[in-house]
Amino acid sequence: MTDSRIRSIVILGGGTAGWMAAAALANRFKQGVTKITLVESADIGIIGVGEATVPYIKEFLQDLNINEVDFMRATNATYKLGIDFDGWYKPNEKFIHPFAGYGARIARIPFHHYWAKMRQQNKAQELDAYCLAVQMARHNKFALPKANNDVELSSFNYAFHFDAGLFANYLSGIAQQLGVKRIQANVQHVNQHPDTGFIQSLELDNGEQIEGEFFIDCSGFKGLLIEQTLKTGYETWNQWLRCDRAVAMPCASKLAPASATRSLAMEAGWQWRIPLQHRVGNGYVYCSDFISDELAAEKLLTNLEGDALAHPKFIRFTTGMRKQAWNKNVFCLGLASGFMEPLESTSIYLIQSSLTLLLNHFPNNQYNQQLVNTVNNNLRIRQEKLRDFLILHYYANQRHGQAFWDECRTMAIPDTLSARIEHFKQTCQPQIDDMDFFSTNSWLAMFSGFNIQPNYYHPVVDDFDEQLVEKELKAIAASISNTVKDLPDHLAFIQRNITAAQ
């Protein structure tokens, strides 16, 4: 058989998506047969937001042999144990979605079945009390999970908050060391094959023409290759996720950095607060039908913890996904592939999981359509599942009397989400399969945070003496609270292990 390997890959865009793609592809094609070129424009720049992640990012770093401390120092990163949802269920009520589980199994039945029964009788605290990571985040503590028998301390995971611009620079250095060629120029024209429509080359404003066999479109919202050239189409999800704008504004840090992302419900959306080592990232994600840009910026400004470090940056978006992530010889990533608001930090996760899928189904120069269909179908399912998880945040609110929230609570939701809610009510078990990113624990965090209670718990629970179960629950909560007392503050942990470490 002849060698049908693809010899040249061109990545358009040098934001988080572009440089993640460049580093991952260069790492895969180390033998040098496949040439990788990345084109980015200094005039256009990157979006520069996207600073909270999920634990999956650690696999990306590990694949590239990146040292975590080195990475955190280079990107001014802090640790993230979950997301602190403030006011989402009702004003002044909070819960945390942790990267962790709750309690401990008793007689092989998951903890939340016992909790469901005891909660009905007001003999249990909020689910948050039975999770070490939640209590750590509530008290601004951090320690790395232990890989030993200490069940409580090993039963959580963590992610990072980092500076998006520094992250792209950091990956750029790694990708270039791995052989990626970087070109700074503007793409002015895209040449396609006259018969097949496959992209053949990019014409740059410096006069160069960059030819390629496979193109990765990381050009941001506009999707220069996947949409403006190939007209692939976009499916919108605005009927369920009503926010369509964000205003972002970094500020000086005044408080010790929290070990969770803060997500504060606002009149027409929500505000994020992402603490970094050197500043705090803030933004208000809102629905333009319910608040003006000026008022949103004003509200954000009054909610900053320190002095603003830049003018407000306004971003417009349309929630949804590209109808096909892979079309002809173009694969799109990041904002070019679609957008879901950063409520659960899923965008960088999606870049990473899309890259993994692509690498596992990488084409040769014959472009087998089965590979394309498999990847596209897989990505559609994954994104629809993420979408449903986000919709639940809005739909389950009890913020009565606020127009935006009333509309969200009364909207028709996708059947897939209704089925999930019903399944949980009937079985006390979230409905999860292999394509779900959010685990049983994540759905439990949401259901309990929004007070969606099951009508059932496992009958084995009734075999246990109620007073004993109550005692056990108290013991778990007390043990967690004692453990947390002895852990270092998040800031002290960073200073000792990241800033001061050589």
Ligand X SMILES: Cc1cc2nc3c(=O)[nH]c(=O)nc-3n(C[C@H](O)[C@H](O)[C@H](O)COP(=O)(O)OP(=O)(O)OC[C@H]3O[C@@H](n4cnc5c(N)ncnc54)[C@H](O)[C@@H]3O)c2cc1C
Among 10, 11, 15, 396, which residue interacts with ligand X (rule: CB under 6 A)?
15
Task: Please give the structure tokens belonging to residue 248.
Answer: 């972002």
Among 47, 295, 371, 492, which residue interacts with ligand X (rule: CB under 6 A)?
47
- Rounded to a whole number of angstroms, the minimum distance from the CB of residue 256 to ligand X is 20
Q: Which of residues 281-310 bind ligand X (CB under 6 A)?
A: 283
Number of residues this chain uses to bind ligand X (CB under 6 A): 38
- Rounded to a whole number of angstroms, the minimum distance from the CB of residue 353 to ligand X is 12
- Rounded to a whole number of angstroms, the minimum distance from the CB of residue 299 to ligand X is 15
Residue with tokens 């996720």: 241
Q: Interface with ligand X includes 269 (CB under 6 A)?
A: no
Asked if residue 312 lies in contact with residue 358, where contact means CB atoms within 8 angstroms, the answer is no
Q: Interface with ligand X includes 347 (CB under 6 A)?
A: yes
Task: Please give the structure tokens belonging to residue 117.
Answer: 């029964």
Exposure letters 342-360 (e unless 16+ CB within 10 A, then b): bbbbbbbbbbbbbbebbee
Which residues lie below 8 Å from residue 294, measured CB to CB, with a gap of 6+?
none
Q: Which of residues 146-165 bind ligand X (CB under 6 A)?
A: 164
Q: Which of residues 192-251 bind ligand X (CB under 6 A)?
A: 218-220, 224, 246, 248
- Rounded to a whole number of angstroms, the minimum distance from the CB of residue 395 to ligand X is 21
Q: Between 124 and 348, name the residue whose CB sits nearer to ligand X.
A: 348
- Rounded to a whole number of angstroms, the minimum distance from the CB of residue 215 to ligand X is 12
What ranges in 110-245 are assigned the alpha helix state H? 111-120, 132-138, 151-154, 164-177
Q: Between 53 and 376, name the residue whose CB sits nearer to ligand X.
A: 53
Chain centre to alpha carbon of residue 281 = 15
Residues making up the chain, counted from first to last: 502
User: How many CB atoms sit inside 10 A of residue 388's CB?
Assistant: 22
Asked if residue 104 lies in contact with residue 150, where contact means CB atoms within 8 angstroms, the answer is no
Q: Between 128 and 163, name the residue whose CB sits nearer to ligand X.
A: 163
- Rounded to a whole number of angstroms, the minimum distance from the CB of residue 252 to ligand X is 20
Q: Interface with ligand X includes 335 (CB under 6 A)?
A: yes
Which residues lie below 8 Å from residue 170, measured CB to CB, with a gap of 6+?
71, 74, 75
Residue 160 has phi, psi (to 5 degrees) of -135, 155
Question: What is the β-pairing status of strands 94-98 and 209-211?
Answer: unpaired
Residue with tokens 């954000």: 300
What ranges in 29-110 are assigned the alpha helix state H? 57-63, 68-74
Task: Please give the structure tokens belonging to residue 112.
Answer: 């939340």
CA dist., res. 320 & res. 339, Å (int): 6
Among 271, 282, 329, 345, which residue interacts with ligand X (rule: CB under 6 A)?
345
Among 24, 49, 74, 291, which residue interacts with ligand X (rule: CB under 6 A)?
49
CA dist., res. 290 & res. 246, Å (int): 13
Asked if residue 361 lies in contact with residue 378, where contact means CB atoms within 8 angstroms, the answer is no
Task: Please give the structure tokens belonging to residue 170.
Answer: 């950091």
- Rounded to a whole number of angstroms, the minimum distance from the CB of residue 360 to ligand X is 21
- Rounded to a whole number of angstroms, the minimum distance from the CB of residue 22 to ligand X is 11
Q: Which of residues 163-182 bind ligand X (CB under 6 A)?
A: 164
What does the per-residue mask of binding to ligand X show for 97-136, with x meaning CB under 6 A? Answer: ----------------------------------------
- Rounded to a whole number of angstroms, the minimum distance from the CB of residue 17 to ligand X is 3
Among 187, 330, 444, 446, which residue interacts with ligand X (rule: CB under 6 A)?
187
What does the per-residue mask of binding to ligand X show for 51-90, with x meaning CB under 6 A? Answer: xxx-------------------------------------
Q: Between 78 and 155, name the residue whose CB sits nearer to ligand X.
A: 78
The residues that touch ligand X, with contacts defined as CB under 6 A, are 12-18, 39-41, 44-47, 49-53, 164, 186-187, 218-220, 224, 246, 248, 283, 315, 317, 334-336, 342, 345, 347-348
